[in-house]
Amino acid sequence: MSSQRHAPVRPFWFCAADAQPWPCGRARVELAAEYADEPRLLAVDMADCLGEATRDLCGLYPRPPEPVAMYGRFLGWVRHLAVNRFRNSGHWPQ
């Protein structure tokens, strides 16, 4: 098991610990725990990362990254996290 932090290696946006596209699965778990009390800030920070990653990757490669894939990678999981948290809170409409 790696003790290295699951942080992005910029400008390529892969994980320093496991070389998966960042945020990798472990980074998502760590980020969700880190922002547990401030889920909106997680969404804001991940949206900022989405913009930075898009700029970085557009500068590296002749073809821009696929927008839907980038959304899913950086923000889609945050949305699912929020929906699941809301469902588990008992406030989800029946």
C-beta neighbour count of 49 within 10 angstroms: 19
pLDDT at 89: 66
pLDDT at 91: 57
Q: 1, 16 in Cβ contact below 8 A?
A: no
pLDDT at 80: 80
Whether the predicted model's global pTM rises above the 0.75 cut: yes
Q: What is the C-alpha to C-alpha distance for residues 91 and 88, in angstroms, rounded to an integer?
A: 8
The dihedrals phi and psi of 63, each to the nearest 5 degrees, come to -105, 135
β partners of residue 15: 8
pLDDT at 1: 46
pLDDT at 23: 98
Which residues of the chain register pLDDT less than 50? 1, 92, 94
Q: Tokens 């991940």 correspond to what residue?
A: 46
Q: What is the C-alpha to C-alpha distance for residues 90 and 21, in angstroms, rounded to an integer?
A: 34
pLDDT at 90: 63
pLDDT at 79: 86
* Exposed/middle/buried for residue 77 (C-beta within 10 Å: 0-12, 13-18, 19+): middle
25: alpha, beta or left, given left = phi > 0 and alpha = psi -120 to 50? alpha
